[in-house]
Structure 1
């Protein structure tokens, strides 16, 4: 008669074998893609991410990768960009993961994203998000769950204020209007937490209108006019600018 330990080992072996058999097709179908780009200005929610210079051209190098787990809908990824708005830091590193699925003719996307600034953790921010796409239109909402929102509340510096519950709602449009040409537009609204608003920081609206041209072999060239309102408070970082971006996907 087999010992209890031996029986447990056999059970474990069968379970592990079954798990491997199920996981194998998933890993076999997994897809890894990457991207790299150079842009004349990196704007995030309408605001320049290079606040050190009041110039129309503030080049930024960007790139990352996405890993999709086959047809399961789950994915993870990383995206990075050079920045210059936070003392002691020159790079933004984004890490995210989520789940995509289709229901009622709508494509849904839910997940979480963390913005990391290795040289200055005061800017680190984590959000959860949900998006719905129907045809050429997408509505997406991002909700801050970290203690602070890009350092606006100064929570990590001991201010006692919170940036949590800051929200960002964006409506966007993307449609191929002729072969290789895609028209894009977006309108977003940032609603700061009550602690941030109490310091005098106003909610604001950002916008972007432009298009992209498929150059072939994974290359694309995009142009957009982007900016935000409330310039009297935020200054030149919200200024409307023409942005050119050359990107490569692989």
Structure 2
């Protein structure tokens, strides 16, 4: 009679083998892509992510990868950028995963994303998101599900306030208007949680407008003007900037 440990091992082995068989079609058609970019300024929702300097040019190095599981619609990814707005931290790491599908004429995308600041975890934030694209137009909504919200509130902040239920709605437009030339524009609105608003932080609107040129061989050059309508608590990070970005996809 086999031992209990041996029986459990056999059960585990069978389960693992079955999982591998079920997952194999996904892995067989998986696709990996990567990207790297150098930008004159990294703005997130209209705000400079380098608040240590007042000048317009604040270069940032960025890059990441995306892993799509073939035609299943599932994907995971990672994106990183140099930043300088949290004491002791110089890197933002985004980890995300989701599911893309088509319903009628609309391309849908739902998922979750966590922003990680390893040098100062007060900034760590997790959101769920959903978007729909119809032709050149996309509407996307992101909803904070973590207590923490980019250092404004949360367990790590120590204020006893919560950033959960902060929402961000963005409407964007992207259309090729000439060979290799794409016009881009977006308008976003941040609605803070009641706890954050109790600190006197106003909801605000951000915007961007510009274009991108396909240089070939995976290279592109983009130029946009981006900013936000409210003066920030920490300097002029909401100020409109001309941002130029050179990117390469693999």
Common topology (TM > 0.5): yes
Cα 1:84–1:13 change in 2 (3 A) is closer
Q: Which residue number in structure 2 is paired with residue 79 of structure 1?
A: 79
Structure 1: distance between partners of 2:168 and 2:212:
24
Q: Which residue number in structure 1 is paired with residue 225 of structure 2?
A: 225
Q: How big is the shift at 1:18?
A: 5.5
RMSD: 2.2
* Contact 1:141-1:169 at 8 Å conserved across structures: yes
Structure 1: distance between partners of 2:19 and 2:93:
33
Structure 2: distance between partners of 1:87 and 1:240:
24
* Contact 1:181-1:212 at 8 Å conserved across structures: yes
Structure 1: distance between partners of 2:229 and 2:59:
23
Question: SS of 2:70's equivalent?
Answer: coil
- In structure 1, the gaps of 5 or more residues are none
Question: SS of 2:102's equivalent?
Answer: strand
Q: What is the TM-score with the length of structure 1 in the denominator?
A: 0.93
Q: What are the Cα deviations for residues 33-67 of structure 1, in whole angstroms up to 9, with x where unaligned?
A: 00000000000000000000001100000000000
Question: SS of 2:237's equivalent?
Answer: helix
Q: How big is the shift at 1:28?
A: 1.3
Cα 1:154–1:21 change in 2 (3 A) is closer
Q: Which residue number in structure 1 is paired with residue 34 of structure 2?
A: 34
1:96 aligned to 2:96?
yes
- In structure 2, the gaps of 5 or more residues are none
1:199 aligned to 2:184?
no
Cα 1:8–1:141 change in 2 (3 A) is same
Q: Which residue number in structure 2 is paired with residue 64 of structure 1?
A: 64
Cα 1:175–1:22 change in 2 (3 A) is same
Structure 1: distance between partners of 2:180 and 2:79:
25
Q: How big is the shift at 1:26?
A: 1.7
Cα 1:21–1:219 change in 2 (3 A) is same
Question: SS of 1:26's equivalent?
Answer: helix
Q: How big is the shift at 1:156?
A: 1.5
Aligned pairs for 1:232-243 (under 5 A) are: 233=233, 235-243=235-243
Q: Which residue number in structure 1 is paired with residue 189 of structure 2?
A: 189
Q: How big is the shift at 1:153?
A: 1.9
Aligned pairs for 1:1-250 (under 5 A) are: 19-153=19-153, 155-231=155-231, 233=233, 235-250=235-250
